[in-house]
Chains A and B, each alone.
Chain A
Amino acid sequence: MMLASMLVLLVTNPGAVLSEMISASTEALNLCIELCAVYAVWLGIIELVNLSGLSEKLAHLLRPLIKKIFRVDNPDTQKLIALNVSANMLGIGNAATPLGIKSMRALDDGSGKASFAMIMLIVVNATSIQLLPTTVIGLRANAGSANPSDIILPTIIATFITTALGILLVHLIDKIKRKTKK
């Protein structure tokens, strides 16, 4: 990507290359300072959510649903997946990733092929089930928005639609696959 644009710039505007790169890097540094402030607020809040046991409670509530969607019977695996999903919902991406990796390991049967539950886990994680878009709200507030949280509701609707569609599609493809096998 960088190479292609540099080749084009060599012809059109070679003098701009270095100055553009450095100004973009400065921009990145400013963004990081801003992100640091946003993260400090949200990571503090999220730590409280974790400490108070709210994330465990949410995971407990989600378990029956997880059993249905993922078709997993092992209760330990169910719990891992439930924790991964609830961490995602609360926007704790840092906590969700290690939990997701653990769940995948628990689901791995060593055959080298992704099972139904593994595909489902990746699709659910890749379609984002975040209820509170914490970082986005923070950045928007910093940019001077009049009401930075007015995107919460549209985000919840959109993310619900994408995740539901993902779950449906995985179930549908699985059904078709099974039929063709027979």
Chain B
Amino acid sequence: MSVFILPILFIGLFVYCLVKKINTYDGFVNGAKGAIKLVVEIFPYIASILIAVALLRVSGITNFLAEILSPVFNFLGIPKELVELVLLRPFTGSGSYGILENIFSSYGPDSYISRCACVIMGCSETIFYVATVYISQTKVKKLLYAIPVALICSLVGTIVACLICKIM
């Protein structure tokens, strides 16, 4: 079933554009242009995070953290292979794509671990980044309970993600 979702959506969009008499080719090219700029912008962030993660890993700190946290993660039903992703996700968007890619290559893209990671990526956000950027142009100094609530929701999302992937 899910194999058809994307092609059908794409066809629907193209037909709709045809009806609306939009120059599909030019529009697509214009959008695609943004890709290079975007990647150039995020490369330093991805590189820094991946370097930091690599150092954490070879130094054994990741393993150590995973060991310490594994009872908690176990209790919550989160595989301990996902410790890095879960801990770094609230801080870095592009960096967490790097971690996701690591997970794909270590466990295979169709494994349970990888699917959990995908769903976790989809139901969480870079909370601290969002909060900082959003209030940057306002006079607000205190966000009161916004961040704790967002963090709790992300944790629940992570637990739910691991549960759903077991069933579906």
Contact B143 A27 (CB under 8 A): no
Chain A facing B: main interface SS: helix
Contact A48 B150 (CB under 8 A): no
Contact B22 A112 (CB under 8 A): no
0/1 interface trace, chain A 153-179, chain B, CB 8 Å (1 if under): 111011101110110011001000000
Q: How many of chain B's residues have a CB under 8 angstroms from any CB in A?
A: 91
Contact B150 A25 (CB under 8 A): no
Q: Which A residues are in CB contact (< 8 Å) with B105?
A: 143
Cα distance, A101 to B161, chains bound together (Å): 29
* In the complex with contacts A139-B104, A144-B109, A152-B2 CB distance below 8 A: yes
The 8 Å CB contact of B165, one of A21, A119, A154, A170, is A154
* In the complex with contacts A101-B136, A128-B123, A151-B122, A40-B32 CB distance below 8 A: yes
Contact B168 A154 (CB under 8 A): yes
How many pairs of residues, A versus B, come closer than 8 Å at their CB atoms?
305
Shortest beta-carbon distance, B90 to chain A, in Å?
A: 8
Contact B54 A148 (CB under 8 A): no
Contact B59 A122 (CB under 8 A): no
Contact A112 B156 (CB under 8 A): no
Cα distance, A78 to B64, chains bound together (Å): 48
0/1 interface trace, chain A 55-99, chain B, CB 8 Å (1 if under): 000000000000000000000000000000000000001100100
Contact B131 A122 (CB under 8 A): yes
Q: Which A residues are in CB contact (< 8 Å) with B137?
A: 101, 104-105
Cα distance, A9 to B122, chains bound together (Å): 34
The 8 Å CB contact of B146, one of A12, A123, A140, A150, is A123
Cα distance, A154 to B17, chains bound together (Å): 29
Within 8 A of B (CB), among A113-133: 113-114, 118-119, 121-123, 125-128, 130, 132-133
A-B contact pairs, 6 of them (CB 8 A): A24-B54, A44-B27, A119-B143, A119-B144, A125-B125, A128-B123
Binding site for B on A (CB under 8 A): 1-2, 4-6, 8-9, 12-13, 16-17, 20-21, 23-25, 27-29, 31-37, 39-41, 43-49, 51-54, 93-94, 97, 100-101, 104-105, 107-108, 110-114, 118-119, 121-123, 125-128, 130, 132-133, 135-137, 139-140, 143-155, 157-159, 161-163, 165-166, 169-170, 173
